[in-house]
Structures are given as structure tokens and as C-alpha cells.
């Protein structure tokens, strides 16, 4: 039987990137003690009150078909959230509720990219971006960002990468894997270029609540002149430690939402009303557990960076946000891939090779901040030990 080309375009993506993680899982299943720093899955439990709300709404009968653009409960909560964030009145017609950032990314890309259109993206980039771009028939146009400048995208490099086929800038702040957080002034400069070349900005803000030190989150959606060309995608997967709830959204212009809804409805025919209510509750309330979680990620990052300070061969910078640290192993002469494989084989520590996130991640490991300070310090000791041996 003949399959559609999209299956081939997407078929080759994926499994190689996760090879070290998969091997780590295999060895763990055999009973070997491994330290897993490979996946961005929050380790803290979510606020119990959100689960109670989901249960309450389920028992209250919120189990029918939902509105295609999302139930009023969650769209109103989103309107309140983004009105607070932007300081402008943001209307509930400017949202589509979707099961997670991933599906929001997919829908957004389908709504703006035609076959052969180029999607500009800072390299290294989140592992599923390649697939999302390819699914829509787009062409990935990676822009290398410099590790020695904190992996920040320079406006001049963006400008140089633009061609007549460029259609979208796909940005991610705070970034997975790099931990870079765009400043307001960087977004203004980048935004001017996008205006000049009439580019869409898809802004993945799934780590928006997680910034450290003096870093402050800002979004192109906050800038009034950029609102109509910006499509924000986000969720409560990371902010509230609830990836399994699959509660995410698009925030954009009402016109974008109206054009995109048929794309999402074709696939989903709505989501689960009781989960949408729980997401609304999560967005409307403050939870001390979330502050504690953010503090824990920051402490772990500081512990990792400090523990590597004594090493002459490996180093790490404090991330500005997100849940990952990039460890620079370039001085060992090994690729991130080879280092990650040896780290797994010789030190029982499972990380992601930087190359899994594009050529811009080469010579690095991505370390997830999902274990406690003691364990992460032990892992960094082993990373340094392997580096000295090499």
C-alpha cells in the first residue's frame, strides 16, 4: 500500500535523538542504578487543589462535548491572565484551548505555513520542532546561536537568514534546551525585523513562569505592534507540573483564532470540559507549591554549575530560565553524543546529547533539573570525572 509523504517526512525524525535515554531505560529495567537527567518531566507533585477541582468538575457532569475553541471557563481565565501580563485588554476570542503546547504548535504551524515556506528557528531548538515544521510541509531554517553569548539570538543573524521564502520565526523563551530568556529589548529588535519582512512569530512560552536571577520573562505578544503577527503557544504542563493533563492553548489575534479553529476542530472535535475547568482554576489561583518548585529548579541549577566550577574541561552557565542546563564538553574533544554515550556506559548518568537539539547544540549535554540537589551534584561530579579521564 502507498502511504502519504508526510509519514516518510516524519518517520525519520525522533528515535535517534532519544537513543541514550532509551539505552538508560533499558539498563535501569535490568536493575542498574542510573541517574536520569534526560527528560523534562517535573518531579514534584502538582498542586492537589487542581486535581480536586478536576475530580469535582468530572463528578458534576462536565463530561459532554466541549466547545471547539475551548470552554468559556478556561478562555475567560486565559483572558484574565494575558490582560494582566500585557497590560492591555485581551479578549476571550483570542484563545484556543488545546491539549498541550505540542498540539498548539502543530495547529499554529498548519495555519501559517504552506509547502516550501521557511521557518526560522534558533539552533539549538526543542526536539519536536523539526517534526512540526516538516508536518506542515515547511523547511527548517536554523540560525546558529553562540554558546559563548548565552545562546541568545542576534537580530543581525536573523536578518541575514531571511529569504523571500521565510514565513515564520519560531521562538522559544525561556528556551529548551539552552535556558536563554529573550530580553524585552531583544524582542523589540527582532520584532521590527519580523514586521519589515512580514513574518509570523510563533512563540513557545511553556517555561514562561520559570526565570531565575535577574531574568524577566517577556513575550512578543506583550508588544502592541506585534500582537497581530504573534501566536503564543503554552500550557500548564511545566508551570503546574501537570504534563499528563494535556492542558494548553494558543493566544493570538481573534482573526488568527477564527482561521485556526477549523484546523484544530478537524482533528480534535473539542477537549475534556472537566480538565478545561481545572486548567481555568490553575490559571486563576496562586499555589505555594509552584513557588517551591521554581526555587528547587533554581537551586539545582546553581548546585550543578557550582560543582562544575572546579573542572578545567567541562563547564556550565547558570540558565536564565526553564528546566535545563547546557554542559559544555567541547574541551574534551568529544561530541556531545559521544560524551553522553560514555557518561551512560561508564558513570551511569543519562543525559541528552546537545546534538539532539540541532547542530548548534554540538559539544554540549543537556541536563534536566529533575532530581534533587544531592543527586544532581553527584551527577556533575561524575561528569567532571569522565571529562578528566578523557
Ligand X SMILES: Cc1ncc(COP(=O)(O)O)c(C=O)c1O
Which residues contribute to the site for ligand X (CB under 6 A)?
A: 40, 100-102, 126, 172, 176, 204, 206, 235, 237, 243, 248
Nearer to ligand X, 24 or 100 (CB): 100
Q: Between 40 and 273, name the residue whose CB sits nearer to ligand X.
A: 40
* Least spacing, CB of residue 237 vs ligand X, in Å: 3
Question: Cβ 18 to ligand X, closest distance in Å?
Answer: 13
Give me the residue whose beta carbon is nearest to ligand X: 100
Q: Quote the least distance from Cβ 356 to ligand X, whole Å.
A: 12
Say if residues 121 and 115 touch (Cβ distance below 8 Å). Answer: no
Find all residues with CB under 8 Å of 370, minimum gap 6, and list them.
36, 37, 39, 40, 41, 42, 43, 323
For ligand X, give the closer residue by CB, 113 or 334: 113
Q: Which is nearer to ligand X, 107 or 111 (CB)?
A: 107
Q: What angle is formed at CA 278 by the lines to CA 276 and CA 279, rounded to 5 degrees?
A: 65
Residue identified by cell 516538516 is: 134
What is the nearest approach in angstroms of ligand X to the Cβ of residue 42?
10
Q: How far apart are CA 364 and CA 198, in angstroms?
A: 34
Min dist. Cβ of residue 126 to ligand X (A): 4
Residue 376 cell numbers, joined: 544532581
Residue 102's alpha-carbon distances to 105, 194, 329, 361, 364, in angstroms, are 5, 23, 30, 21, 25
Q: What angle (nearest 5°) sits at the alpha carbon of residue 102, between those of residues 226 and 269?
A: 100
The answer to whether 229 and 201 are in contact (CB under 8 A) is yes
Name the minimum Å distance from CB 178 to ligand X: 11
Please identify, using beta-carbon distances, which residue of 206 and 326 lies nearer to ligand X: 206
- The nearer residue to ligand X, 145 or 334, going by C-beta atoms, is 145
Pairing of strands 248-251, 200-204: unpaired
Q: How far is the CB of 129 from ligand X (least distance, A)?
A: 8
Give ∠ CA 219-43-314 in degrees, rounded to 5: 75
Bond prior to 177 in cis (omega within 30° of 0): yes
Nearer to ligand X, 127 or 384 (CB): 127
Amino acid at each position: 500500500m502507498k502511504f502519504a509523504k508526510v509519514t516518510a517526512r516524519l518517520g525519520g525524525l525522533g528515535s535517534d535523538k532519544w537513543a541514550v535515554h532509551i539505552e538508560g531505560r533499558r539498563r535501569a529495567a535490568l536493575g542498574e542504578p542510573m541517574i536520569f537527567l534526560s527528560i523534562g518531566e517535573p518531579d514534584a507533585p502538582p498542586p492537589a487543589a487542581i486535581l480536586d477541582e478536576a475530580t469535582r468538575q468530572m463528578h458534576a457532569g462536565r463530561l459532554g462535548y466541549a466547545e471547539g475553541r475551548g470552554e468559556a471557563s478556561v478562555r475567560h481565565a486565559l483572558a484574565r491572565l494575558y490582560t494582566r501580563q500585557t497590560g492591555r485588554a485581551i479578549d476571550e476570542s483570542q484563545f484556543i484551548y488545546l491539549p498541550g503546547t505540542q498540539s498548539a504548535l502543530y495547529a499554529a504551524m498548519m495555519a501559517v505555513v504552506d509547502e516550501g515556506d521557511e521557518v526560522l528557528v534558533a539552533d539549538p531548538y526543542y526536539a519536536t520542532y523539526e517534526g512540526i515544521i516538516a508536518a506542515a510541509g515547511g523547511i527548517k531554517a536554523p540560525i546558529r546561536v553562540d554558546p559563548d553569548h548565552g545562546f541568545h539570538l542576534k537580530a543581525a543573524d536573523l536578518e541575514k537568514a531571511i529569504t523571500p521564502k521565510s514565513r515564520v520565526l519560531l521562538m522559544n523563551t525561556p528556551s529548551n534546551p539552552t535556558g536563554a530568556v529573550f530580553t524585552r529589548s531583544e524582542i523589540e529588535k527582532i520584532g521590527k525585523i519580523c514586521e519589515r519582512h512580514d513574518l509570523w512569530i510563533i512563540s513557545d512560552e511553556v517555561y514562561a513562569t520559570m526565570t531565575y536571577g535577574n531574568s524577566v520573562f517577556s513575550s512578543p505578544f506583550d508588544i502592541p505592534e506585534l500582537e497581530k503577527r504573534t501566536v503564543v503557544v503554552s500550557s500548564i504542563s511545566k508551570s503546574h507540573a501537570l504534563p499528563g493533563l494535556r492542558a494548553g492553548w494558543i493566544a493570538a489575534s481573534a482573526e488568527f483564532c477564527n482561521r485556526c479553529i477549523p484546523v484544530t476542530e478537524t482533528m480534535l472535535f473539542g477537549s475534556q470540559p472537566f480538565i478545561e475547568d481545572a486548567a481555568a482554576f490553575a490559571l486563576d489561583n496562586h499555589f505555594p507549591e509552584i513557588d517551591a518548585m521554581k526555587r528547587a529548579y533554581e537551586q539545582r541549577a546553581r548546585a550543578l554549575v557550582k560543582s562544575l566550577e572546579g573542572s578545567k574541561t567541562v563547564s556550565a552557565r547558570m540558565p536564565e530560565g526553564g528546566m535545563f542546563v547546557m554542559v559544555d564538553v567541547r574541551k574534551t574533544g568529544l561530541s556531545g553524543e559521544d560524551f553522553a554515550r560514555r557518561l551512560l556506559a561508564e558513570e551511569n548518568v543519562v543525559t541528552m546529547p546537545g546534538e539532539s537539539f540541532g547542530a548548534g547544540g554540538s559539544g554540549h549535554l543537556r541536563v534536566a533539573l529533575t532530581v534533587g540537589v544531592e543527586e544532581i551534584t553527584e551527577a556533575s561530579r561524575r561528569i567532571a570525572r569522565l571529562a578528566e579521564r578523557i
